[in-house]
Every structure is written in C-alpha cells, then in structure tokens.
Structure 1
Amino acid sequence: MTGEVLREGESRVLTCQVMGGHPHPWVTWYRHGRPINLTSMMRDTLAVSLTSPRVTSRRLEEEEVRVKQLVRATREEDGAVYECRVNSHLSEQSLTTNVTLTVHYAPSTVTVKGPRVMTDDQHLTLTCFTNPAKPPAAITWLIQGTEIGTGLSTVREDEGGGWVTSSKLTHHLPESHNITQVTAECRAHHSATRKVINKRWSLKVIKRPGKPVVKIEGGDGSEVVAGSRVRLLCSSLGGRPQPSVTWVLSQ
C-alpha cells in the first residue's frame, strides 16, 4: 500500500507476512502504538488471518506467519500509522514495519452566510465555506440557476486535518422591475466524490421608494392665504414593499 491514496469509503486489507523462524514467531498489528488484533499475540500462533482464520496449507504453517487487518478508509484514518510487530522466543527486540494511510475525503457540508434582504441597487455579497476536505475542495457559484464563477476563493489548513475552502461572492444584479427574490447556490466539487455538495440561499429583493413630492391640492403654487384651509398631497413613486407616508410638522 505504500504510496497508494485511498478514497473515503474504500477498503483495503493490510497483510503482514513473516518468513521462516523456528519456533514460529507471533505477529501483531498496532494502530498508533496500540494493539488491534490481540488474537495474534498468542505465542503458539502459526498463522492468523482476520478475514480467514484457518491455515490454508501445511507448507504455509512451516514457512510463514501471516496476519491480515481490514482497514476502511474514513477521514479519521487519514494519517493513521499501522505497524506490524514480529516477536520471537529467540529475540527480545521486535521486528517492525509500518504503513501510513493517506485518505482523500470530500467536504460533507457547505455553509452560506449573508443577508436575507437586499435592495435592487445593491451588490449581492455572500460568503460560502466548506468543512474540512483533503485535498481542498473547489467552489463555484450559481445565481438564479446560472453559473457565474468561483468568486474570491481562499484555502486554509484546518487544525483537525484537511483544508477549508471559502469563497466570497460579489455580484451586481441586472436591472429589472420584476425581480422580487434571488436564489444563490454554492457548490463544492471534490475529486473524492462525484456528488456535488451544495447549499442554496434565498434573498428578498426590495425597491427603494422615490423621493417624496408635496403638492397643494387645488392650488397653483406654494403660496396660500393666511387663515385658509389647504389640503396637502404627499406622493412617492415606486417602492417594494409599498412604503408608508408620515407627516411631520416643523415649527
């Protein structure tokens, strides 16, 4: 397995094989210094296989001891050190060899952060980041179902292993009086899986009302006769949702 890269979910069988020795040595697999197959520590063991415990031939009994260990590739197994130790009555020093697992795993989730409401004249600004992956995931963005690029992406190494990819999207919406909601989608792509890990984010689009205009109803200007009653009309063009109008009297 030296140099082989496993994808999350795959399985491999590690085999430790010892040739010769009389009396027969015993073989033990260790993970990070802890024994994981105690059965093979018995001194009278001739051959042990965790997947097939019976001895397959008389010749095997006479010439070798073989111990197998099944390993399933998970993100927790990335960097795990499996060591095979061989012990004998004739030596106090163990013979050892080891293998370090390399596991590639995709991010399990992506998270999007940003506002839930924006005005139609604002730039849309969102941030998306993955949880750890190895190697780093790639991020792409979609707006209203159309891919628009990768945004400004950065990658940082996570303390617990793997890398976190983040992307900041800044996008200006096309001018349209009909857009009331925008749906953005962050997608993470990774070589360890064909599945696309995605997260959608919806924003309500509001429209600023126009500058208020005050008119004197029935009048022809801003001058009125003292003591007379007048009706003032305040109007504002546009706005979504419908704006409210409040009168304030200044002394």
Structure 2
Amino acid sequence: PPNQPKIFDENNKERRNLVGPYTEGSSLSLNCHVVGGQPLPRVIWYRNGKLIDSSDYFDEDQTMKNELTISILTRSDLHADLSCETFNNNVSTPLVTTVHVDMNFGPLEVTIFDKNHQITAGRIYDLFCQAVGSRPQAVLTWYLDGRRIEGGKEIVSSSEFITPL
C-alpha cells in the first residue's frame, strides 16, 4: 500500500494541520507527495470534501505527486479543509492528510464619524473611526496634518474595532 500523503507548502516545508496565514488575493500552492504502493497510487486533492484536482504524476524521485494551486484566495477560503487523498485499489481504505487554511484580511470598510453633525472651529469633539471586516483586528492610527495623534483609546467589540479621538 502507499504511505501516508505528505503536504508541502511553497517553501517545501511539510505542513500537517495548518497552512498560512495567507493574504486575501494572494495565491496558494501546495504539493502532495506519496511514496510506495503497487500498483502506483492516485493522488487527489479535495476542498471541503469536493474533488478539485486529480492531475497527479509520477516524479523521477519515485514519488507520486499532485500540486494544488489556488491563484486568488478569497474570504471564502478561510478555514477551508484541503485534503490530499491517496489510494491504489478498491479494497484498502484511502489515506488522507488534511490542512486548514488560515488567512488575514484588510478591513472591508473604514468609517470616520462623530456624535455631532456640525463642527465649529475652536471646540472639542469626539470623533470615531470604525474598521469592519479585518482579520486580525485592524490597527487604527489618527493623523492631523501628517502628524500622528497620540492618546486615543480603543473600544473593541467582537465584530468591529472602534477608536475614538
């Protein structure tokens, strides 16, 4: 029978549970290697249980391989299970190695708002900046005329990140 599939990332580092974090819009490339098995085993990629790549090949180093490339990662790829499965007959149970995709996202939206709708020169106001949809939480920094403003405080909720000025 074939040996357990091994998954390697873009840096040829073996990955066992987690790959990434990748940035939204970047690409992902994973290679699955399987040694042994007579007849030669198949090496197939699945994403969340659905077949996505069956283009395996036999390499000169006596290894069956299948390289999975996702050209543009999207938010829907976060926590996806990418599984490499190998088998060489209809009798034995296929062997599977799975990795989970971790990703980082920029904010979907950044909004500056205030409690008052009219602002008058010479008065003090509370302004708020809200970032929604980032992973991990966005780091928000206030600037005035190109100079960083210190002393704002952060208010964090589970779905949004707000910093008042």
TM-score for both structures, normalised by structure 2: 0.73
Structure 2 CA distance for aligned equivalents of residues 13 and 121 of structure 1: 56
Pick from 152, 162, 166 the counterpart of residue 162 of structure 2: 166
Partner deviation per Cα, 1:85-144 (whole Å, 9 max, x = no partner): 112215341100011122222224311122341244642122211122122111111235
Residue aligning to 1:70: 69
Structure with bigger gyration radius: 1
1:155 deviates by 2.6
| Unaligned ranges ≥5, structure 1 | 41-46, 49-54, 159-163, 170-251
Distance 1:150 1:140, change over 3 A: farther
* 1:88 matched residue in structure 2: 88
User: Contact 1:5–1:103 at 8 Å: present in 2 too?
Assistant: yes
TM-score, length basis structure 1: 0.51
Name the counterpart of 1:5: 21
Q: 1:82 to 1:147 in 2, by over 3 A?
A: same
* 3-state SS in 2 of match to 1:124: coil
Please name the residue that 1:126 is paired with: 127
Conserved 8 A contact 1:150-1:167: no
> Which residue of structure 1 lines up, in the alignment, with residue 148 of structure 2?
147
User: Residues 7-156 of structure 1 correspond to what in structure 2 (within 5 A)?
Assistant: 7-37=23-53, 39-40=54-55, 47-48=56-57, 57=60, 63-71=62-70, 72-89=72-89, 91-114=91-114, 115-120=116-121, 122-149=123-150, 151-156=152-157
Mapped partners of 1:156, 1:12: distance in 2 = 31
For the 8 Å contact 1:112–1:127, the answer to whether it is kept is: yes
Cα contact 2:113–2:128 (8 A) shared by 1: yes
Unmatched 5+ stretches in structure 2: 1-8, 10-14
**Residues in 2 aligned to 1:96 and 1:12: alpha-carbon distance in whole angstroms:** 20
Give the count of matched residue pairs.
Answer: 147
CA RMSD after TM alignment: 2.5
Question: In structure 2, how many angstroms separate the alpha carbons of the residues matched to 1:64 and 1:97?
Answer: 16
Which amino acid letter does the alignment assign opposite residue 99 of structure 1? V
Taking the aligned partners of 2:29 and 2:130, their CA distance within structure 1 comes to: 35
Higher relative contact order (Cα pairs below 8 Å, separated by 6+ residues): 2
Q: Does structure 1 conserve the Cα–Cα contact (< 8 Å) formed by 2:59 and 2:65?
A: no
